[in-house]
């Protein structure tokens, strides 16, 4: 894994790529939405992707979203958990390695067995 970049969160132009997903169990794909937001809460970009429900392609989809934005001013990637789309597991270390950015996964509920 590459050395961590120093984050200057005090800067006004600090930008984060946040990625969340939404799906219906009756569909084969889920929608991934990526939003670039500045520290001053200005939305500065967006991109959509998809992942296979019960698949294993979420990590590559997130890397693709980041590459498609073609930006070098994003400081960090925030994820809405590491298990999405009915157990399509995201590899945060692989995303960090591919993008050179720190990856933070946030969960709102405890998940048994994922300590």
Task: List the domain boundaries for the chain.
Answer: 15-105
Alpha-carbon distance of 3 to 21, in angstroms, equals 28
**pLDDT band at residue 2 using 50, 70 and 90 as cut-offs:** low
- CATH topology for 15-105? archaeoglobus fulgidus dsm 4304 fold (3.30.2170)
Which contiguous run of DSSP H or E holds residue 45?
strand 43-52
pLDDT at 64 over 60: yes
- pLDDT of 24-56, one tens digit each? 989 999 999 999 999 989 999 999 999 999 999
Q: 2 pairs with which residues across the strands? A: none
pLDDT of res. 107 = 82
Two tokens, residue 71: 């930006």
């Amino acid at each position: 894994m590459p050395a961590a970049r120093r984050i200057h969160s005090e800067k006004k132009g600090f930008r984060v790529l946040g990625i969340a997903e939404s799906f219906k169990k009756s569909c084969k794909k889920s929608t991934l939405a990526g939003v670039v937001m500045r520290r001053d809460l200005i939305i500065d970009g967006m991109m959509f992707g998809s992942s296979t429900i019960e698949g294993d392609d979420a990590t590559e989809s997130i890397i693709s979203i980041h590459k498609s934005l073609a930006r070098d001013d994003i400081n960090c990637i925030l994820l809405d958990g590491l298990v999405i789309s009915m157990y399509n597991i995201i590899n945060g270390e692989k995303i960090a390695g591919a993008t050179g950015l720190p990856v933070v996964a946030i969960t709102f509920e405890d998940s048994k067995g994922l300590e």
